[in-house]
Amino acid sequence: MILHVDMDAFFASVEQLDDPSLRGACVLVGGDSDRGVVAACSYEARKHGIHSAMPMFKARKKCPEAVVVPPRRHRYKAVSKKFMEMLREVSPLVEPVSIDEAFVDVTGCRRLKGDPEQVARNIKSRIGRRLHLTCSIGVAPLKFLAKIASDMDKPDGLTIIKPEAVDAFVKALALRKVPGVGPKMLEELTELGLHTLGDIQAFPESILVRRTGKFGLRLRSLAMGVDDSAVVPEYEAKSISSEVTFDTNTRDPAVLNRYLLHQAETVARQLRKKGFRARTVALKIKHADFTIATRQAPLSHPSQSALPIYTAAKKLLERYGLKQDVRLIGLGTAGLLPASAPVQMDLFRETAVNEGNWEKVDRTVDEITHRFGKGIIGRAEAGKK
């Protein structure tokens, strides 16, 4: 049996916990500018039709009395760390999905911890007692069903799908609730007359795969009540990125490059902290008309230093050739490798030697920042954002 534990309105709930005056209020966590987006919102706000990723100006129109609170990422990470530690007290098989949710395999815990329902109730009790927050838990023999179940009775819910109930539940499950079925896929399936996993069971597999690709095979397996996905304790990061939405649209190369440098430093710092080197750099641009463009390029060798990451992103921006103002710019890295993995470097190339030296400088800056706080030291060319 697998549990999916999902903290309720996590960011907003932490803000309401720390500031009692916000309890019962329509709380929006995000940038105070109308150009920002809602990172999270309280359940009071959701009653007004507000949801995460909604533009802030739309959210304010729906709830004029809403209180906008800037994100406090360090605080959320601190609470999340305690949350994950509590789950690992129950089972060593804990797979974090994000900062506020995780899968827990409790198959072998019955003798020490009790049956799955008892384990789930104990987790809810501990979170309430230690963190003073609530969570919703889904319990099921299949991973994807545990995820769906946790969302069925929010907030502070507990939904259990017993093994003998799986067939009936799967057959009636709406496709829009299946993880991985987005708007476009749902539209494609609807055109085929498919609305539930039960419909998938009776539909010709060859036609399904021809219309939906490999994902059709995944849907077919889920429809038959088969999900071999295991709870993986170690979370492997696939990418690390940073982006910013400007208060005023711009296409000034000096401004954009300055932000790219700050983002390169942020991303490189996270790479070093998490113990990775990146093989690929990606650039994301959102224009004033909300169209999005992405570009990517490989690094000459895997790196966790800001200099080569920034240089690659800067070249991508130059090659792109801006023709209209920019609303958002982002820098990301992918193709992550463990920092301990051997890296073949050309010692006869001066740039390789310089980059190796800059990594040492970056680590020294990390140590200074850790001791004295952010902003105490930085590259002169970065200036102020």
Phi, psi for residue 67 in degrees, rounded to 5: -105, 120
pLDDT at 349: 43
Closest to 375 measured CA to CA, from 243, 240, 262? 262
CATH class of 239-382: alpha beta
Q: Are 144 and 221 in contact (CB under 8 A)?
A: no
Q: What are the percentages of helix, strand and coil residues in the chain, rounded to 5? A: 45, 25, 30
Question: Could you identify the residue written with the tokens 């009636």?
Answer: 172
pLDDT at 348: 40
Cα 105 to Cα 367: distance, rounded to the nearest angstrom: 37
Q: Are 309 and 335 in contact (CB under 8 A)?
A: no
Tokens of 304: 């966790």
Q: At what angle do helices 306-320 and 350-372 cross, to 10 degrees?
A: 110
Cα 199 to Cα 305: distance, rounded to the nearest angstrom: 51
Cα 313 to Cα 243: distance, rounded to the nearest angstrom: 13
Question: Could you identify the residue written with the tokens 């509590």?
Answer: 86
CATH entry 3.40.50.720 includes domain 2-8+74-165:
no
Q: How would you write the pLDDT of the chain (385 residues) with one tens digit per residue?
A: 999 999 999 999 999 999 999 999 999 999 877 678 899 999 999 999 999 889 999 999 999 999 999 999 999 999 999 999 999 999 888 988 889 999 999 987 777 788 899 999 999 999 999 999 999 999 999 999 999 999 999 999 999 999 999 999 999 999 999 988 888 889 999 999 999 999 999 899 999 998 888 888 989 999 998 888 888 775 555 789 999 988 889 999 999 999 999 999 999 999 998 888 999 999 999 988 888 899 999 998 899 999 999 999 999 999 998 989 999 999 999 888 877 665 544 444 444 445 555 666 676 666 656 555 555 455 555 555 4
Nearby residues of 161 by Cβ (< 8 Å), 6 or more positions away: 138, 139, 140, 141, 145, 146, 149, 169
Q: Which CATH number is correct for 10-72, 3.40.1170.60, 3.40.1830.10, 3.40.30.10, 3.40.50.1220?
A: 3.40.1170.60
| Catalytic residue list contains 101 | yes
Helix (H, G, I), strand (E, B) or coil at 297: strand
pLDDT at 252: 94
Residue spans of beta strands (DSSP E) within 120-200: 135-140, 158-160
Question: Could you identify the residue written with the tokens 């815990």?
Answer: 109
- Topology (CATH) of 166-223: DNA polymerase; domain 1 (1.10.150)
Q: Which residues of 299-321 are buried (b: 16+ CB within 10 A; e: fewer)?
A: bebbbbbbbbbbbbbbebbeeee
| Annotated catalytic residue within 15, 101, 265, 359 | 101
All structural domains of the chain with their residue ranges: 2-8+74-165, 10-72, 166-223, 239-382
Tokens of 138: 């889904």
